[in-house]
């Protein structure tokens, strides 16, 4: 049996080896294809920075999924392809359209199929967990850092990608596994500072009350989603929300004010009879990028990841990529505008699906939120994640949330960690159920998704119930 | 480098449905206050159906947060145990 540190060392050495092979291939014009999410964007930015610094030509395109049409479009470029944060789950499909000797895949999703002549690096094949030990951007970082001298920005981006993929599953919401090695490297080189603090969203940039109202990793009934209530709450605690004409942010609070706020929030939640676990989610590990300007979204790891995520979800991965590569000015302003718009869309979709009667259907094993016509398909995944975060810790059902886009139904699945620890695999559930109705699915054990024909929804749900039941019957006892 | 500093102070009031339950939970949590981490002082008192918990922490706001969290967790656990015992012993 391989122990974890052997596996990590082995993986780092494989990454170095692969970087050497990439150099020796001498590809002078490469197509970077990346997953259209924050982790994929960060992974692509790392690769693009390395290629730019080594003087290679490249172009980059983001994709939401791999299908025949996408692969044919990729083939039409007639260039060597580097897939980032996507591709492992579609090895046979890729080989059927592209020349495997001109394909590289750096990914952390579960591999499916035969890789043939494809050059691939995937943590799941090296005794590591792609869901929590390292993200797609982490894999990209471990390879491309070997091609350049200054990899400080790449280090930030690898942390951003891991946070975006919710890999902060270590103690006090910290990054663990190979991610923690990457963090340590950043700390030792002075790019990253690790602190423990509140993890409210927008701690660098948003007014306090907006920050409390916008946090989505935990729900505070009454405060989440309502800025006015949050503002009055802060005032009732005697916390100044403005300094002269400027709204204060979390970073402006003194330790005494933080104690006041903490006590106030705990009292508020105790009065509501909420479980202590829901309080615990309010604080955790913060990753601060010290070279980035104070008061910008780029300084806090989670805020940076949220910015890239917004750009990707709203269909502007190119803008996210430019910002991740270091572009500022107009594109950075545009990215922040997109982020604002994205939050509005998420908030609207969330309040709609939670309030419309009949959208919620609960069975023995599955909790379904049918968002067909209610949820904007661009924000399905965050809506599912927020609902999942608000469920009680001891809730042991599979969460399924849907949204429609023309004739297609998009499905997002979330599995409680307690079930994952006992062997439940959400990725397998999504892929098997989708395949039974002519759709496609996959992902991680804890978070997965599928795309199916809308008219097959009932059959899909029947398949989900059946496969979930089978997996429940095989769960390990802890 | 992990930031850690300053003094934090908190008062938390937890209300129970009746004074007798508050008293039982209070008496059960009391011995735990003897075991204090360095730099953390915590004490509680009972007021009718409320337990008032006070903490002074010289190890930064996050240490204060974890102390409060652990205390709330402890209260919840004891309350559940007391209620389970009550249900088991009452006809």
> A158-209, pLDDT tens digit by residue?
999 999 998 998 988 899 999 999 999 999 999 999 998 888 888 888 999 9
Q: In terms of domains, do A255 and A379 share one?
A: no
Cα A372 vs. chain centroid, distance in angstroms? 23
ipTM of the complex: 0.75
Q: Would B1 be classed as within a structural domain? A: no
Q: Would B25 be classed as within a structural domain? A: yes
Q: In terms of domains, do A262 and A176 share one?
A: no
Q: Tell which of A161, A191, A221 closes a domain.
A: A191
> A9-23, pLDDT tens digit by residue?
999 999 999 999 999
> A23-64, pLDDT tens digit by residue?
998 888 999 999 999 999 999 999 999 999 999 999 999 998
Q: Would A1 be classed as within a structural domain? A: no
Instruction: For residue A421, give the CATH number of its domain.
Output: 3.10.310.40
What pairing do the DSSP bridges indicate for beta strands A103-106 and A81-84? parallel
* Mean pLDDT of all residues in A255-283: 82
- Domain limits at B72? 8-87
Please give the model's pTM, rounded to 2 decimal places. 0.81
CB contact under 8 A, A259 and B12: no
| Domain count along chain A | 3
| Domain count along chain B | 1
- Domain limits at A439? 358-476
CB nearest A262 (choices: B4, B7, B61): B61
Instruction: For residue B31, give the CATH number of its domain.
Output: 3.30.310.50
Exposed, middle or buried, A449 (CB in 10 Å: 0-12/13-18/19+)? buried
CB nearest B76 (choices: A263, A271, A275): A275
Instruction: For residue A109, give the CATH number of its domain.
Output: 3.90.1640.30
Q: Would A281 be classed as within a structural domain? A: yes
- Confidence label for A274 from pLDDT (cuts 50, 70 and 90): confident
- Confidence label for A218 from pLDDT (cuts 50, 70 and 90): low
Q: Give the span between the Cα atoms of A199 and A212, in whole angstroms.
A: 10
- Confidence label for A227 from pLDDT (cuts 50, 70 and 90): confident
- Confidence label for A4 from pLDDT (cuts 50, 70 and 90): low
CA-CA distances (angstroms) from residue A475 to A200, A294, A365, A438?
35, 47, 13, 28
CB contact under 8 A, A259 and B9: yes
CB contact under 8 A, B72 and A276: yes
Q: Tell which of A327, A352, A377 closes a domain.
A: A352
Q: Would A444 be classed as within a structural domain? A: yes
Q: In terms of domains, do A187 and A231 share one?
A: no
Q: In terms of domains, do A183 and A301 share one?
A: no
Which pLDDT score is estimated for A378?
Answer: 92
Exposed, middle or buried, A294 (CB in 10 Å: 0-12/13-18/19+)? exposed
Which pLDDT score is estimated for A394?
Answer: 80
Q: In terms of domains, do A257 and A340 share one?
A: yes
Residues near A177 by Cβ (< 8 Å), separated by ≥ 6?
A4, A8, A128, A129, A132, A133, A134, A167
The 3-state DSSP composition of chain B as helix, strand, coil percent (nearest 5) reads: 50, 25, 25
Q: Would B2 be classed as within a structural domain? A: no
Q: In terms of domains, do A149 and A211 share one?
A: no
DSSP for residue A447: E
Q: Tell which of A352, A368, A396 closes a domain.
A: A352
Query: What's the gap in Å between the CA of B84 and the closest CA on chain A?
Result: 17
Query: What's the gap in Å between the CA of B91 and the closest CA on chain A?
Result: 27
Q: In terms of domains, do A159 and A90 share one?
A: yes
């Amino acid at each position: 049996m391989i122990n974890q540190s052997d596996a990590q060392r082995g993986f780092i050495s494989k990454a170095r080896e692969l970087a050497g092979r990439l150099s020796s291939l001498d590809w002078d014009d490469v197509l970077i294809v990346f997953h259209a999410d924050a982790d994929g964007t960060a992974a692509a930015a790392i690769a693009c920075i390395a290629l730019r610094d080594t003087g290679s030509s490249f172009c980059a395109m983001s994709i939401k999924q791999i299908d025949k049409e996408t692969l044919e479009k990729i083939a039409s470029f007639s260039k060597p392809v580097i897939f980032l944060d996507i591709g492992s789950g579609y090895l046979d499909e890729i080989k059927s359209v592209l020349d495997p000797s001109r394909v590289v895949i750096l990914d952390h999703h579960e591999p499916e199929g035969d890789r043939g002549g494809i050059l691939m690096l995937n943590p799941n094949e090296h005794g590591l967990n792609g869901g929590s030990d390292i993200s797609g951007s982490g894999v990209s970082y471990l390879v491309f850092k070997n091609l350049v001298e200054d990899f400080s920005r790449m280090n930030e981006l690898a942390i951003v990608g891991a946070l975006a993929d919710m890999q902060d599953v270590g103690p006090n919401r910290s990054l663990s596994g190979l991610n923690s090695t990457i963090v340590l490297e950043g700390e030792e080189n002075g790019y990253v500072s690790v602190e423990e603090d509140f993890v409210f969203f927008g701690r660098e940039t948003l007014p306090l009350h907006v920050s409390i109202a916008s946090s989505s990793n935990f729900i505070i009934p009454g405060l989440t989603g309502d800025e006015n209530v949050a503002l009055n709450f802060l005032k009732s605690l005697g916390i100044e929300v403005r300094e002269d004409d400027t709204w204060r942010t979390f970073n402006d609070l003194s330790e005494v004010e933080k104690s006041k706020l903490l006590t106030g929030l705990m009292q508020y939640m105790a009065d509501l009879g909420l479980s202590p676990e829901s309080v615990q989610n309010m604080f955790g590990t913060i990753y601060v990028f010290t070279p980035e300007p104070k008061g910008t979204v780029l300084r806090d790891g989670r805020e940076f990841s949220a910015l890239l995520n917004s750009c990707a979800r709203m269909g502007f991965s190119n803008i996210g990529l430019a910002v991740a590569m270091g572009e500022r000015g107009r594109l950075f302003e545009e990215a922040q505008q997109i982020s604002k718009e994205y939050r509005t869309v998420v908030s609207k979709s969330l309040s709609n699906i939670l309030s419309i009667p009949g959208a919620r259907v609960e069975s023995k094993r599955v909790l379904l939120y049918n968002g067909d016509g209610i949820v904007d398909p661009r924000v399905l995944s965050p809506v599912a994640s927020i609902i999942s975060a608000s469920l009680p810790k001891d809730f042991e059902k599979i969460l399924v949330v849907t949204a429609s886009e023309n004739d297609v139904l998009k499905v997002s699945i979330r599995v409680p960690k307690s079930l994952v620890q006992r062997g439940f695999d959400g990725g397998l559930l999504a892929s098997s159920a989708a395949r039974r109705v002519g759709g496609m699915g996959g992902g991680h054990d804890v978070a997965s998704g599928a795309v199916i024909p809308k008219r097959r929804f009932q059959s899909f749900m029947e398949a989900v119930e059946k496969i979930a039941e089978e997996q429940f019957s095989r769960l390990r006892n802890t | 480098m992990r930031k850690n500093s300053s003094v934090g102070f908190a008062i938390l009031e937890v209300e129970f449905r009746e004074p007798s339950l508050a008293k039982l939970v209070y008496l059960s949590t009391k011995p735990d206050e003897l075991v204090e981490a360095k730099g953390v002082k915590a004490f509680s008192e009972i007021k009718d159906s409320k337990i008032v918990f006070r903490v002074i922490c010289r190890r930064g706001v996050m240490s204060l947060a974890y102390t409060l969290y652990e205390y709330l967790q402890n209260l919840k656990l004891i309350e559940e145990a007391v209620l389970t015992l009550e249900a088991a012993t009452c006809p």
